[in-house]
Structure 1
């Protein structure tokens, strides 16, 4: 027996490892270093150390009062007060019995702190079950810091497998401030943001249409490129809904299938929803997409969807499309029809089906300096009640800039729009073949002036940009043409610089008009960021417009359009203001106005005020919208929105809630009421949907309740999620 003063026994252990490795004819493990007040070499393979022992190998360090190491078996024993650090993880306990190579062993009375301190655990015994795998007996696990025991996951056995990103708790329950709130004989949870098979946190919500809504999703991680989610859902007022979603991803294609069904005992009928989406790159130039959506009835999204679904789901597509990208040209072949969801208060015009639609577009370089465009389309339109048939059109155009500099441009453009219709017989209406050929001409011109200046120490650049846009299209009577896909576009600063005020290709307006506009912008002198812009524009007609959307519409006989004014920008720090006005100069009245103020000085701080008025639609819209998110105290945040119709003297949406962020857990409480049926015959209980959200989030482990974040983001511009997700490792 030999005693050594405090020193590193690197040479000794290296020799022991070398002898053992040569005997075994294997590549040796990295050297182990032992530092202690006293060290003893008992044999060629065994060493013992006492007093302030520090043992290191690679990223593993063990500190203890005493230690025994056998290089032949790579076996380490340490005791009394053990502190083990591995890849940033810290484990403390009483007695360590550990094999360094396979990383297997035990630690008594362990305390476990994950790297960066985002999670910790304690137990009666910890078992090392291989690289990055731990098992704990009679364990507690939390993401709260060491000085707080707000919540714990307790389990008779807790398994943490960082190699596969999965945590498992057997005979486990969650305890929140000493109160058990969730029990399960088996719980699994992710240890980072990666996905894994298992039950997701249950979702519990309440609204006045369905009662209590409980959903318990199960996620199946089939493969890295396949997964499925099953979500049984129980609604107390309607029954049990079964739903599932399957997603797939391959290098050349991807998609998802979703379906749900319920035997609704409130409506006494079976109701369902199906959706399918597939995208595929067949060749480097040819791609394909397919989409099918279908619901059992018009009120499906009103009853089972959220506000976004109610507002957006009107025409559900069923289509198959092929796209081809050639050298300087592209083509589209599409077959498309819709399921149209109707509302008693706002009937929807059923769109035409396209069976098929063939589209071609190219930009040949036939003339140097010219911008040439060739577009054309063939479509077979089908409709259950309206006249239908086939339409073909081509539209070649050429733009040749006469002047194109940093301070001025002059761009004339000429084109021809030729259409041919082959209409079908429809009841008493006899089919016919009709053609239309219209030449088009436009001249776009503008100047850009700049000046640099300083205002109270602020360096800025101001621009002044006058623009003139002239269009000439001769008149041609189009009242005998069907209207498959044309509509009047929204009058705006973007639209007044276009040739046609109609969308689609069934109506081409006659035009002999000029648009005049003036824009000014202010830019930061240092960063070049735009801080403010303002535009005023108006269109002037040299002759009356005679083409209308249908034969019953009265042609316009005005000499000038409405006046358009728009200005806004970031006026001060994070304070943003915007205003737009459409003013009818002939009637001396405002046709439309939109004013908004927004202030978002930091995360979790946003205030918004907006006023909207539009007399161009029926019924007339006049609304005021107030929304915001703001800290109330150190950890509490308030959220609210109130959207009020001044015309109807009624609320369209009201939302209020509180969010609490305690660091390792968070609470969200939100109530929302919005209009889903504004018909005069609707009862109050059917006119509004009232939903209550309550969500308890426990670190990166689990969320219990119904999450309102998607609703808050949709309702409150500038909303930020104040509860950042935490990766346990």
Structure 2
């Protein structure tokens, strides 16, 4: 049994230990944290602070203790030294000068919250505030990172110096890659470390050498090179990007990223960010001079400007402005902001005001339309004012108003100025058991339309409509057993009566209005168009109901919603004419069958003809984070004159302990062809990974006349290496999200 010597050592022993704690903490900031994967043979070191001593105390335990003239203490046999920051164990230890110096030898292990060090000896000199460790191996706490150093020196004046040091995130003895340096120094009080004669090894082969480089050792942003990205595809060739980060000031910075594409040339991507107490801004520019893969070698570019900022106490300024050089830019070069399937780039500048009762929004809205498509209308400007105020305890008044001018780049297209105001008087009653709302609204809209010669449009239009709405919902809940599980079941019926008067609107153009797709919630909307150019007349009753099953944690296990509109008279607005006395029956189901199976489906069926107008279904089996199979299908009978009928399969599954496969394919059943095929395979170890991705997607390329091709396909192959701990960590999730469609879970349960 150990002889225990509990000593209150003078505080002069502690500063050196504290230096080790503070300085070594900074070294971990140079490594990207990552959770270890299951197949790693090495486990990260853990450390519990519960065993530490109170501040200012040191405890020494040993099998044998000898005190010499109250100045020297000798400990031997299973020596454990515990301070308020670290634990040292050794075969023997000697404390001199009343606790000012400590020498530990024989299988020495030093451990604190940042790392664990095994060494031949540890020397701590409190007067000089200096800690030395010889012939060491170290592991980072909570992270699979380890290495060796001939000597580790920690001192107040020099910080930390590691001589003949190595580092890898691979397990010891299995270093597939490793960094070695003759010296790494981290000066106390600075944000930079220095490395001399650094070599990067793959296996035992040196592949890269730097005589000197500096690196950040704190969470503060520092100027320097970021981790590069290397891929390969048929569209760009070998694609290498090397970001450089410039920390210009505490509140603004810039990232400059030269991108070398062997098929196209060198592209320069630049991002500038600015932050103040009341605003944030970002400017992003991509520029490729002389694209060598296109006849004529045109210059190609993309830009984006974003800004959000407060102006005064209640005013907010928003800017979102985008542009690009040509229709095929996104297809050829890609973008972090838009996908290859996008056809519009938004441009808007807005100024907003908010108070307790008033919301004011002024903005200019425009679009960059890709391809030879009729130009969309831009609102230059659009001003909206919303006013809401309670009237006593029962009533509420609100006024929605709008003033907008619509312009078009086509000289022959009509233009318009529109003023709209809609006062509403409502009586909302809400409680835990349900709600009731009664409201009446007047829609007053005035149009001044120009360039309407030869069209059915009128120069001056004055439209006045009235609307009345009654809405009620109840909430019932009871306990119910479902498959031997106690659940809470809710039943939430709701009903709405809606009347909107009719007025002929064929003399009004379409400026910001298009038909809306409807779901169960949309049945209670009462409007079938975006914007204000068409307001459909209504005399209808909408019935709907939702039922939910909730577990003991109030988490939804099953949700079913159904709804339908019953028309009491025919709709007279031409663009919204209906030939039935009821709408399609809409239904939605979300079901967490068990911990592995999930289902989402929604459908709209015309009850008179029993034809499906719209449907989607997603079924997923998920065993764990890396094992799932998903089947999805979506159908729309008429979407802008087209029928959408697509089926898709997505899967992710480990082939073996280190190999992971991801695949996805979507097929157009209407045209009997593939839309996207995507597959990726990856080898991943504790400390590195290699990923090979191949995909074939519908091209959607625009020709010289701006017409979009719908029969060509693009194919690409991408190869990527990842060295964990020096720029990247886990990779499977990003493989799932890549491609044209990406991966989404098929349910929306809370």
Q: Which residue of 1 aligns with 2:272?
A: 246
SS at match of 1:302: helix
Q: Cα–Cα, structure 1 residues 81 and 521, in superposed 2: closer, same or farther, change >3 Å?
A: closer
Aligned mates of 1:375, 1:686 — CA distance in 2: 48
Q: Of 246, 258, 261, which residue of structure 1 is paired with 2:287? A: 261
Aligned mates of 2:66, 2:345 — CA distance in 1: 78
Q: Of 605, 613, 619, which residue of structure 1 is paired with 2:635? A: 613
> What does residue range 122-521 of structure 1 map to in structure 2 within 5 Å?
122-130=148-156, 133-146=159-172, 148-159=174-185, 169-186=195-212, 195-263=221-289, 264-267=291-294, 268-305=297-334, 309-311=338-340, 313-342=342-371, 347-385=372-410, 386-401=413-428, 406-407=432-433, 409-425=435-451, 432-521=459-548
Q: Cα–Cα, structure 1 residues 633 and 480, in superposed 2: closer, same or farther, change >3 Å?
A: same
Q: Which residue of 1 aligns with 2:126?
A: 100
Q: Cα–Cα, structure 1 residues 77 and 581, in superposed 2: closer, same or farther, change >3 Å?
A: closer
Aligned mates of 2:628, 2:458 — CA distance in 1: 59
Q: Is the 8 A contact 2:10 2:98 kept in 1?
A: no
SS at match of 1:460: strand
Aligned mates of 1:200, 1:501 — CA distance in 2: 50
Q: Which residue of 2 aligns with 1:637?
A: 660
- Displacement, 1:380? 2.0
- Displacement, 1:571? 2.1
Q: Which residue of 2 aligns with 1:654?
A: 677
- Displacement, 1:414? 0.9
Does 1:598 pair with 2:623?
no
- Displacement, 1:507? 0.9
- Displacement, 1:98? 4.6
- Displacement, 1:543? 2.5
- Displacement, 1:102? 6.1
Aligned mates of 1:468, 1:7 — CA distance in 2: 79
Q: Cα–Cα, structure 1 residues 16 and 228, in superposed 2: closer, same or farther, change >3 Å?
A: closer
Aligned mates of 2:97, 2:244 — CA distance in 1: 47
SS at match of 1:301: helix
Q: Is the 8 A contact 1:215 1:233 kept in 2?
A: yes
Q: Is the 8 A contact 2:404 2:417 kept in 1?
A: yes
- Taking structure 1 as the reference length, the TM-score comes to 0.84
Q: Cα–Cα, structure 1 residues 422 and 160, in superposed 2: closer, same or farther, change >3 Å?
A: same
Q: Which residue of 2 aligns with 1:725?
A: none
Aligned mates of 1:580, 1:88 — CA distance in 2: 52
SS at match of 1:327: coil
SS at match of 2:523: helix
- Displacement, 1:661? 4.0
Task: Give CA-to-partner distance per residue, 1:90-132, whole Å, 9 cap, x none.
Answer: 3333455554366445433222222346322212233325499
Aligned mates of 1:117, 1:409 — CA distance in 2: 53
> What does residue range 530-541 of structure 1 map to in structure 2 within 5 Å?
530-541=556-567
Q: Is the 8 A contact 2:662 2:736 kept in 1?
A: no
Task: Give CA-to-partner distance per residue, 1:14-53, whole Å, 9 cap, x none.
Answer: 49999xxxxxxxxxx95777777566768x9x74747456
Task: Give CA-to-partner distance per residue, 1:418-477, whole Å, 9 cap, x none.
Answer: 011223346778983321111111222344455544345333344444433222112211
Q: Cα–Cα, structure 1 residues 708 and 218, in superposed 2: closer, same or farther, change >3 Å?
A: farther
Q: Cα–Cα, structure 1 residues 191 and 716, in superposed 2: closer, same or farther, change >3 Å?
A: farther
- Taking structure 2 as the reference length, the TM-score comes to 0.82
Aligned mates of 1:597, 1:16 — CA distance in 2: 66
Q: Is the 8 A contact 2:458 2:508 kept in 1?
A: no
Q: Is the 8 A contact 2:420 2:446 kept in 1?
A: yes
Aligned mates of 1:76, 1:155 — CA distance in 2: 29
- Displacement, 1:593? 1.9
Aligned mates of 1:66, 1:140 — CA distance in 2: 28
- Displacement, 1:234? 0.4
Q: Cα–Cα, structure 1 residues 415 and 530, in superposed 2: closer, same or farther, change >3 Å?
A: same
Q: Of 606, 627, 634, which residue of structure 2 is paired with 1:584? A: 606
Q: Cα–Cα, structure 1 residues 363 and 394, in superposed 2: closer, same or farther, change >3 Å?
A: same
Aligned mates of 2:352, 2:128 — CA distance in 1: 55
Q: Is the 8 A contact 2:452 2:459 kept in 1?
A: no
Aligned mates of 2:189, 2:682 — CA distance in 1: 34
Q: Is the 8 A contact 1:204 1:705 kept in 2?
A: no
- Displacement, 1:705? 11
Aligned mates of 1:327, 1:488 — CA distance in 2: 33
Aligned mates of 1:637, 1:474 — CA distance in 2: 61
Q: Cα–Cα, structure 1 residues 65 and 491, in superposed 2: closer, same or farther, change >3 Å?
A: closer
Q: Does 155-164 or 376-385 show the bigger shift?
A: 155-164
- Displacement, 1:307? 9.4
Aligned mates of 1:94, 1:232 — CA distance in 2: 47
Q: Is the 8 A contact 1:202 1:704 kept in 2?
A: no
Q: Is the 8 A contact 1:442 1:499 kept in 2?
A: no
- Displacement, 1:683? 8.4
Aligned mates of 1:711, 1:364 — CA distance in 2: 48
Return 5+ residue gaps in structure 1 as ranges: 19-28, 720-729
Aligned mates of 2:535, 2:11 — CA distance in 1: 92
Q: Which residue of 1 aligns with 2:116?
A: 90
Q: Cα–Cα, structure 1 residues 691 and 33, in superposed 2: closer, same or farther, change >3 Å?
A: same
Q: Which residue of 1 aligns with 2:43?
A: none
Q: Cα–Cα, structure 1 residues 9 and 131, in superposed 2: closer, same or farther, change >3 Å?
A: farther
Does 1:561 pair with 2:583?
yes
Aligned length: 692
Does 1:627 pair with 2:644?
no
Q: Is the 8 A contact 2:694 2:715 kept in 1?
A: no
Question: CA RMSD of the aligned region, Å?
Answer: 3.8
Q: Is the 8 A contact 1:319 1:334 kept in 2?
A: yes
SS at match of 1:500: coil
